[in-house]
Chains A and B, each alone.
Chain A
Amino acid sequence: MIKVLRSLLVMIGLTAGWQLLVTVTDVPPYILPGPGVVAQTLLTRFPTLLPHATYTLSEILLGFGLGALLGMISALLLATVRPLQVWLSPILVMTQSLPVFALAPLLVLWLGYGLASKIAMAVLIIYFPVASAFYDGLQRTPKDWRDLGRIMKSNRMAFLWHVRIPFALPSLASGLRVAMVSAPIGVIVGEWVGSSRGLGYLMLHANGRMQIDLLFAALVILMIMALFLYQLTDQLLKRLLKHFSLDEDKI
């Protein structure tokens, strides 16, 4: 509770600092509108903002779901099918350093201005951290456990299900958290490159028409959305790990 109160205070402080900056420098509102103006715009233009926000939210959720699912399936395949592991796992590690954002224009070219290109962008961005974190966790089953499994003549799939996957959950959880942070970025970048709906589109559109207050209002919504999604993911993952009595710091 104190933690919530503290972060609330910090937020109020930052908003006050923002207002102070605007008042002191007397910067024109088309460069930096004050928090009051933004709040007002947020309220008056809410009917405009809402459909764009839901559109962006659905892109994020679809991209996250699909990307996480594909990432987990790939990690499981890599960890269990020996030839795949030999050929593909070095590539998986390398793809970590690829600037996936640079693909955004291509995706829009191939998949069009609609939902598909944004989801593809989010999937690409989410896929790699999830796949590599989960794969890494699956490969790092403690040696004593692997020994015990061999002595017990365990079935490969049973061992995967009962030992390897649960022990990999903390790694998967950190991968999913990273993915949840980057999902909104992916979607927004996708919208910037080419779209006709969504908060990213609205921001560009507002910027072009010098409606900086609207741009800020869209930004505020995006931030709230991202924070909420991250907290939700974090809490769900914590529950999951607790159910398995797994402590993230220990593994």
Chain B
Amino acid sequence: MTSHEKALLAIKVPPAPTIQFRNFSFSYKGQLLFDRLDLDLATGCWNLLLGRSGVGKTSLLRALAGLLPDTSYSGEILFDGKKLVSDQVSWMTQDDLLLPWLSVVENSLLGNRLRAWSRSPFPIIARNKAENLLRALGLGEHLHKRPAELSGGMRQRVALARTLLEDRPVVLLDEPFSALDALTRSEMQDLAFEQLMHKTVIMITHDPREALRLGHDIYLLKGSPVQLTRVSPPETVPLRSGFSSELQWCENRIIAELSLAGEIM
């Protein structure tokens, strides 16, 4: 990527807010998943929430996104000291959620399309921004193709572009790379990490290695109701790679802790 392209991509974002869970309780189908949880998530970095499937990771993320009905949880979720406002977040899931009848560019600008009913949804500026971003993500050749013509990794890149173009300070990632093959996953991790460098990212995963690769902060979720443990991550900065003995040691410890929790349940 040339510096010119980088300049085009620089997206001005208001400073990312602090995220605080205070006294957060939530039950799902009669089971208490969170009992008066307190959690502070650091801003401007990648927070990784790691746990087995079904432990309540997604509920936590849905709470942040404002998708839980007000009556289903108690406690507070504060963004920068104020009550959560859902238009501060954007969201990316394992499913790319591309509309099969729209082109790559149109899909990446879906937010504009869904918010503007009467006005023309794609002002030239938005369109240029989207096309530049898609080019930077390696999709320059595919701007006008439909999702069905793309590989899984490319589709996930379009979803990443759509998430970035929403231009929100907090980005919620719900296992976005877990359906991809190992090589594509690692490429996507690199791309996403680079693009979301200064945002507050909250990502959930069940893969210890992914958490260790990407996380500035790593939290283990285990048990029911959930107990949170902060894992001190390796000394190195994320996008960690390779099989250093320290990483290996961390991975083993995380796996040991998670399987211990499984036995208690």
Contacts and interface: CB of A to CB of B under 8 A. Distances in A.
Interface of A: 144-145, 147-155, 157-159, 161-163, 166, 243-246
A158 B91 contact: no
11 contacts: A144-B97, A147-B62, A147-B65, A151-B66, A151-B86, A153-B87, A154-B114, A162-B110, A162-B113, A162-B114, A244-B101
Interface in B151-181: 166
A163 to B, nearest CB: 7
A151 B91 contact: yes
Nearest to A157: B117
A243 B101 contact: yes
B89 interface: yes
B65 A151 contact: yes
Given A147-B91, A150-B67, A155 B114 contact: yes
Contacts of B117: 155, 157-158, 161
Given A150-B67, A151-B86, 5 more contacts: A145-B97, A151-B65, A154-B111, A158-B117, A162-B114
A179 B28 CA distance: 42
Nearest to B166: A152
B167 to A, nearest CB: 12
A214 B133 CA distance: 71
A172 B90 CA distance: 32
Interface of B: 62, 65-67, 86-87, 89-91, 93, 95, 97, 99-101, 110-111, 113-117, 146-148, 166
Nearest to A143: B67
A144 B175 CA distance: 14
A152 B172 CA distance: 13
B65 to A, nearest CB: 5
Contacts of A166: 99, 101
A157 to B, nearest CB: 5
A163 B113 CA distance: 10
Contacts of A150: 65-67, 86
A144 B65 CA distance: 13
Nearest to A148: B97
Contacts of A246: 100-101
B91 A149 contact: no
Contacts of A155: 114-117
Contacts of A162: 99, 110, 113-114
